[in-house]
Amino acid sequence: MPFVFLVGNHSSGKSSFINYVMGRNVQTAGVAPTDDAFTIIAPGNMDKDQDGPALIGDPDLGFSNLRLFGPTLMQHTQLK
């Protein structure tokens, strides 16, 4: 599965771009900061939010090596 890493300044249109490409509201967009996490958007039949520890702890998802970067990264990662 390909990965795309999207970064940018605060309020530069990242969430709006993701919502446009996906054709639905996946990310909350707004003028004020809406989140401070790395968000992994994965394909699936239904929407599913999962916090970092659950995401990284699931060996079937393939992100368990992120555990090596410590709890701070784990707490700032989420799956949508």
19-77 pLDDT, tens digit each? 999 898 888 887 777 678 888 888 877 778 899 999 999 998 889 999 999 999 999 99
Q: How far apart are CA 29 and CA 37, in angstroms?
A: 14
Q: How many CA atoms lie within 13 A of 55 on its CB side?
A: 21
pTM listed for this prediction:
0.76
Label residue 15 exposed, middle or buried (CB < 10 Å: 0-12, 13-18, 19+): buried
pLDDT at 1 over 70: no
The helix or strand, by DSSP H or E, that contains position 51, with its residue range, turns out to be strand 50-51
